[in-house]
Amino acid sequence: MDSTFDKIADVVIYKFEPSRMKIPTRVKHFNTVIATMLGLFLASIPLIYGYAPVKTPDNLVTFRVDGTWMQLGTQPYVFASMMAGYIFDKDKHLAVRSKALGFIFSILLALKWSFWNDHHWFCAVQLAGVSYIILQAIVYLETRGSVHLSTALICAHASKNIIQSLLAFTIQSEVAVLSALVLILMVCWVEELKVTIPLTHMRRKSQTMSMQLPIMYNSTTALVMHYTLVEVLSGLYAPLAVLQSNRLEWSTLGAAIVLFSGLYYFNQLLPEMEEKTGHHLIKSWNKQQYTIKGWRSQQKMAKYIQRIVDRNVYWNTIILFGLWCVGVFFKPPISVTTLFILTSTAKQQITQPLSSLWN
């Protein structure tokens, strides 16, 4: 099956010529802005004449707008990147196969949306064409962009919502923006919480270092995986959209139970998938000639680190769920999940050396 998707990737993915020189950061930012503007432009064009766009609830981890050329948006590619680790071998071709899988998902969803929902057949052609453009944009930005296309579109959409709330000049909108700022500060704070593991060099005992394991051990990956799955399932079966509820109503209770279960499941699964268990960490430190001071047994060290990992994973689940609950009560202009994506993206760009912007 892997070879089949390799052949599909060779056909559908355009091979951009590798750059012969280092691409300046400002050029990467410019390319990302242009691709983002293109996505926002496509999100304003109705699929066919006479079919008006329907207002879409704010998506959580993907960008799409109902009734427009971005009806599918980046959702198939985000979902494919999540599923690729389960379907394909983990090698250097995994990312390419993931993109081919995302394009196939796009075609299937385009056909389903057009024919299953009794829309015009030409909608499927339009959606397939846009999915092909999105695929090429994602590939292009991998080497010539600064932010993934889906992340850039989500951040642009979130920024627009925050600005609109600020300009509304109502008490409700001001409270919403204030709650968003408080949540952003809370997100920044929890992401800095870490457990320090003192290590010493196996040969040079005086040489020590500290390895920090974040309390948010899997960051927001479990949250992204949960809502990606929920978004796709609700697109296939409309009643499941209730699992995206974040308002103070009875349906939100069911959504909360499913959310906590999904977070716990994915958080338990991710360390093994990403090779970040206690065993993998000890093995990685040993390759660098480092070990935990005073310990001799590799097995006991792995169990000790695994207990810390399990504890951090547990708190990761609690913190993510707690912040989601805060968002339900205080109603920021964007969802807590989007706030995580927006905050982590901003931190990543800000922490880069300022001089790199002009290199």
pLDDT, tens digit, for every residue of 1-24? 667 888 888 888 888 888 788 888
**Residue 238, number of CB atoms within 10 A of its CB:** 9
pLDDT of residue 308: 93
Instruction: Tell me what the mean pLDDT of segment 254-264 comes to.
Output: 90
Collect all residues with Cβ–Cβ distance below 8 Å to 311 and sequence separation of at least 6: none
**Does 314 have pLDDT greater than 90?**
yes
Spatial contact of 78 and 54, defined as CB atoms under 8 Å apart: no
Domains (range + CATH), the chain:
1-168 (1.10.3370.10), 171-333 (1.10.3370.10)
Instruction: Tell me what the mean pLDDT of segment 91-117 comes to.
Output: 85
Q: Output the CA–CA distances (angstroms, integers) from residue 13 to 38, 95, 112, 162, in the order listed.
A: 19, 12, 23, 36
pLDDT of residue 359: 38
Question: Is residue 185 very low, low, confident or very high in pLDDT (cuts 50, 70, 90)?
Answer: confident
**Does 337 have pLDDT greater than 80?**
no
